[in-house]
Structure 1
Amino acid sequence: MKTDAFAIRTLTLDDLDALLPLVEALHTSDGDPFDPQRTVDALQLVLSHPEYGVVHVAEVGETIVGYIVGSLGLSVEAGGRFLLVDELYVSPAWRGRGLARKLLASLIPYAQSHHCRVVELEVGWENDRARTWYERLGFERHRRFFCSITLEELDRRLVLRQGRQSR
């Protein structure tokens, strides 16, 4: 059994190569595509613009074994700013040791300093373990359908639809 102590800290540019395999593991386990360059671009954006969000890593010795990404948003329904837990992942060998809880807790000061009122997240329907864990922490399910589309694709479809309607 591993008993090494772990530390939570903010991601740096020097960490990107070590973090990519964990991001890939999360995306693969969720059935999502993984694009290393797109991931690096997004992480560099957050690192250069802390007002967009924050990335924290859990480290054992010199090894990154988990991470969390929080990004800022605004919601009229939420009454102001909110923090979106965009990604949370702990390597399988390190699960069950409190790292996910510590990573989640590490976002609280950031959210408070940015006047967030609510913390939101998304979790796959099939991920019963994560969903149950979040619900035990007090997260509530919403009767909503989460969906997304690239801005480019939405623009293309709206222009096509507008073109058809103007005939």
Structure 2
Amino acid sequence: MNTIRSATLNDLDALTRLLDGYRQFYQQPSDVDAARAFLRQRFGRADSRILVSEDAEGGLTGFVQLYPGVSTVGLNARWTLNDLFVLPECRDKGTGRALMEAATQLAHDHGVSRLILMTQVENERAQHLYESLGWQRNTAFYGYLLDIK
């Protein structure tokens, strides 16, 4: 049985490997140093909340990362669930579900009105998980991206 808990700076090495694996899942080249620097920055700025899944031996098996934000229209807090990753060998064991449920509970505990996320169109496995947890596909808005160079 895995334990879900908030990540700490002591998790940096294991969390760096998970983040690097997550980025590779999205066809990014491995860059452990950049992943470590990114996470160190998140911890230093305290601008995200990271939950990790820990197995009985203390190894990290997955993580979810949330970024706090607000809605001007809704006049409330909304968090973006930007990242969910589970080690390939730990999938289909309830780890992703447990991380998502813990993220929802954390948001609830902080009075957050809405969680939002985006996933790749091809990532049907993740879509199935989200929808099984009651997430609704947004059909009212288009998503746009602008790369700033």
Contact 2:4 2:99 in 1 (8 A): yes
Letter aligned with residue 67 of structure 1: F
The alpha-carbon deviation at position 43 of structure 1 amounts to 2.2
1:117 aligns with 2:85: no
Contact 1:30 1:124 in 2 (8 A): no
CA RMSD of aligned residues (A): 2.1
Name which one, 1 or 2, has greater alpha-carbon Rg: 1
The alpha-carbon deviation at position 72 of structure 1 amounts to 0.4
State percent identity of aligned pairs: 25
Q: Which residue in the other structure is 1:135 paired with?
A: 131
Q: Which residue in the other structure is 1:165 paired with?
A: none
The alpha-carbon deviation at position 46 of structure 1 amounts to 3.2
The alpha-carbon deviation at position 66 of structure 1 amounts to 0.6
1:6 aligns with 2:5: no
What SS is found at the alignment partner of 2:113? Answer: strand
Counterpart CA distance in 2 for 1:37 and 1:148 is: 26
Matches within 5 A, 1:75-154: 75-143=71-139, 144-150=142-148, 153=149
Matches within 5 A, 1:29-44: 29-33=25-29, 35-44=31-40
The total of aligned residue pairs comes to 146
What SS is found at the alignment partner of 1:69? Answer: strand
Q: Please, which runs of 5 or more residues in structure 1 have no aligned partner?
A: 154-167
1:26 aligns with 2:30: no
Q: Which residue in the other structure is 2:51 paired with?
A: 56
Q: Which residue in the other structure is 1:164 paired with?
A: none
Deviations 1:31-65 (A, max 9, x none): 24554444333323332444x22111111112111
**Superposition misfits of 4+ residues, deviation over 4 angstroms:** none
Q: Please, which runs of 5 or more residues in structure 2 have no aligned partner?
A: none
Give TM-score scaled by structure 2 length: 0.84
Give TM-score scaled by structure 1 length: 0.76
